Amino acid sequence: MTGVQGDRPGPAPEQRVLPVTDRLWTVPNLLSMVRLALVPVFVWSLLRHELGWAALVLVVAGASDFADGKIARHYGLTSRLGQVLDPVADRLYIAATVLGLAAVSVIPWWLVAVLFAREAFIVLMYPVVRRHALPIPEVTFIGKAATFNLLGGFPLLLLGHVEGWWTVLSLACGWALVWWGTVLYWVTGVTYGWQVAHMVRQRRDAGRVVR
């Protein structure tokens, strides 16, 4: 057969490496900034018990989270600022959302503890990352899926607490997305821990070879 040499597989196709720029004012970065700016709007809507408006804000936030990654990859607008700003915006939005939803009794406080325990797990690895000068792992598909499920499920839970024909359906779909998002959120945390441990072992092995 053409292209086959014995039983040995041919060379693996080269992966496309997206360039990373130092530009600040890109469309993806602006979308992340908008997501950050919407955090106080969401909190204000909850405090006024405007659950419909709060749900709309979450929908806009979820759409911007999906759009900024797509635009960055498609148009080569991946930037160093965006690599930091996007996950920070995601985490801040999720933190504000879960605290706000628990405060108005839309979700239980134990779910807040589960989600924040994952964040604490990530924070505890920071001294190791800093000590070994490790690079920040890129946002994975599973990580984006976790964020998408959570930011998709939370507005549905809010709508489920607004009287209407959609109440039962919104609660069922919302809880399904939130449960999947929570599981994937922890999967990404464990994966990140494994990546950090792997990089530390590589640095130590390289140090032994140099000596």
| pLDDT block averages, 10 residues each, the chain of length 211 | 40 48 71 85 88 87 76 68 72 85 92 92 85 74 83 88 88 95 92 87 69 52
**pLDDT score, position 168:** 93
| Domain harbouring 80, CATH code | 1.20.120.1760
Residue 132 lies in a domain: yes
Phi, psi of 107 (to 5 degrees): -130, 155
Residue 4 lies in a domain: no
> Which residue range forms the structural domain that includes residue 116?
27-210
Residue 19 lies in a domain: no
Report the domain count for the chain: 1
**pLDDT score, position 70:** 72
Residue 104 lies in a domain: yes
Task: State the Cα–Cα distance between residues 164 and 195, nearest whole angstrom.
Answer: 46
Residue 54 lies in a domain: yes
**pLDDT score, position 2:** 38
Inter-residue contact 95 to 118 (CB < 8 Å): no
**pLDDT score, position 19:** 61
Q: Tokens standing for 37?
A: 């700016």
Inter-residue contact 32 to 139 (CB < 8 Å): no
Residue 170 lies in a domain: yes
Residue 113 lies in a domain: yes
Residue partners of 178: CB distance under 8 A and separation at least 6? 107, 111, 149, 150, 153, 154, 157
Q: Tokens standing for 105?
A: 């009794």
Residue 166 has what DSSP assignment? Answer: T
Specify the length of the chain in residues.
211
Residue 85 lies in a domain: yes
**pLDDT score, position 210:** 47
Residue partners of 85: CB distance under 8 A and separation at least 6? 29, 32, 33
Question: How far, in Å, are 81, 100, 121, 204 from residue 130 at the CA level?
Answer: 19, 32, 15, 15
Q: Tokens standing for 45?
A: 């809507």
Task: State the Cα–Cα distance between residues 211 and 209, nearest whole angstrom.
Answer: 5
